Amino acid sequence: MGLSGIQIYKMLPQTNCKECGDPTCLAFAMKLAAGKAELSQCPHVSDEAKEKLAEASAPPIRVTTLGQGDAAHKVGGETVKYRHEKTFVNPTGIAVALSNQMDAGKVDAELGLLNELAFERVGRSLQPNYAFVWDQAGDQASFLDLVNKVGGATDKGIIVSSQDTATLKAAAEALKGKKFAIHPVTADNADELLALCKDVGAVPVGRGDDLDALAAVGEKIVAAGFKEALLDTGWNGLRDTLTANLAVRRAALDKKFRPFGFPTIAFPCAMTDNLYLEASYAAMLIAKYAGVVVVSTLDPAVMQPLLVNRLNIYTDPQRPMTMDQGIYEINNPGPDSPVIITTNFALTYFVVSAEVEGSRVPTWLLIMDTEGMSVLTAWSAGKFVADAMAPFVLKSGITDKVNHKKIIIPGYVAQLSGEFQEELGDGWEVIIGTREAADIPKFLKDYVA
Query: Given the rule CB under 6 A, which residues bind ligand SF4?
Result: 12-13, 15-20, 22, 25, 28, 42, 44
CB nearer ligand SF4, residue 12 or residue 203: 12
Pairing of strands 93-99, 326-330: unpaired
Q: Quickly count: other Cβ atoms within 10 Å of residue 239's Cβ.
A: 9
Pairing of strands 73-76, 63-66: antiparallel
Contact present, 179 and 201 (Cβ < 8 Å): yes
Q: Least distance (Å) from ligand SF4 to the CB of residue 23?
A: 8
CB nearer ligand SF4, residue 28 or residue 267: 28
| Of residues 214, 224, 226, 228, the one with CA closest to residue 186 | 214
Q: Least distance (Å) from ligand SF4 to the CB of residue 9?
A: 9
CB nearer ligand SF4, residue 19 or residue 329: 19
In sequence order, what DSSP letters do the residues of 351-373 get, joined into one string?
A: HHHHHHHHHT--EEEEEE-STT-
Q: Least distance (Å) from ligand SF4 to the CB of residue 17?
A: 4
Q: Least distance (Å) from ligand SF4 to the CB of residue 48?
A: 15
CB nearer ligand SF4, residue 13 or residue 335: 13
Report d(CA 106, CA 322) in Å as an integer.
Answer: 38
Q: Quickly count: other Cβ atoms within 10 Å of residue 118's Cβ.
A: 13
CB nearer ligand SF4, residue 15 or residue 312: 15
Report d(CA 75, CA 336) in Å as an integer.
Answer: 48
What DSSP element (H or E) covers 155? none
Report d(CA 444, CA 361) in Å as an integer.
Answer: 7
Q: Least distance (Å) from ligand SF4 to the CB of residue 30?
A: 11
CB nearer ligand SF4, residue 44 or residue 442: 44
Q: Least distance (Å) from ligand SF4 to the CB of residue 5?
A: 12
Contact present, 440 and 418 (Cβ < 8 Å): no
Q: Least distance (Å) from ligand SF4 to the CB of residue 227?
A: 24
Backbone phi, then psi, for 342, in 5-degree steps?
Answer: -155, -175
Report d(CA 348, CA 329) in Å as an integer.
Answer: 16
CB nearer ligand SF4, residue 34 or residue 141: 34
Residues shown for the chain: 449
CB nearer ligand SF4, residue 25 or residue 98: 25
Q: Least distance (Å) from ligand SF4 to the CB of residue 34?
A: 15
